Every structure is written in structure tokens, then in C-alpha cells.
Amino acid sequence: MTPRCELAVPPPADSGSVAQVTFLSPVAFEREGALAVDREMLLGSLLSRIAGVMAWHGIVPEADWAELARAEAGIEFDTGGLRPVAFERVSARQGRRIPMHGFLGSCTLTGDLGPWLPLLHLAPWLHLGSHTAFGMGRCAVAVSEGG
């Protein structure tokens, strides 16, 4: 039998929250070949990372997907604290420098974060975006009540 795990907890009575996600290493999200960041990409990446880790452990995620989608639709997303960065990594195997791109800084999620809070608290351990094996997407999450 495959273990199951509940992903979300009921939101607190006052679920108006602010979450600041600060990227300590560059984060890369790509949409249609372009580097971009939006609410859907950030939260989608978080869900993908959680589902991947759970699958690796043979656990089937269970969540109120409709509640997560409803809450996501009402979340405001501010990317004003993010700045694009370019850098290189060195591939010892390929013997060359590989250009990399991403964002550093902070973005803010404001609104009904209740269903997302347990998941957001996992982001610092899971990293977000692509190229996490190269150290990208390392972040810190600070949550405060009331927006």
C-alpha cells in the first residue's frame, strides 16, 4: 500500500497573510523560452518540488486542490524586489563555461495564504525553479499575519 500524506491544513480564521520569499541564490523560471516570474510559476514550482520529493519517497500527495487553486487566484504577487542576474557555471565534464540566468532578491505574496502556508514553509528546504542541482532557487520565507 502506498503511503498517503495530507499537504494542506485548514487556514487560520484570519487568513490574510503576507509571505516574503527572498532568493539567496538565483532562481530561474522559464515560460515559452523567456525568463519570467509570476505567482503561478512560483507556486507551481513549489508544488512540483513537493510532489517530486514525495514521489521519491513513495508517498502520494493528498490535498484540497480546489481550495489551493481558489486561494491562489486571490493572491497578489509583487516582483518589485527581484532583479535579473547573469552568471556562469563551469562544467568539468564538458570542459567549458555555461551561461546561466536567474533572479535574486525578494517577491511578496499577499492574501489568503492559509492553504499555502504549510507548503511555503517547505520552500527553503526544497529550493524553487530549475537548476536546483546547481544550487539555484535557494530561498528564505518570512510570513506575517495581516496584509
The set of cell numbers assigned to 35 is 525568463
Segments of the chain scoring below 70 in pLDDT: 1-15, 146-147
The set of cell numbers assigned to 124 is 527553503
Q: What is the DSSP letter of 11?
A: P
Neighbours of 97 (CB within 10 A): 11
pLDDT digits (tens, 9 = 90+) for 95-123: 888 888 899 999 999 998 988 998 999 99
Neighbours of 124 (CB within 10 A): 15
In the chain, where the domains are located: 28-145
Neighbours of 129 (CB within 10 A): 25
> Domain 28-145 maps to which CATH number in 3.30.70.1900, 1.10.8.50, 3.40.30.10, 2.40.50.180?
3.30.70.1900
Closest to 134 (Cα-Cα) out of 101, 106, 85, 96: 101
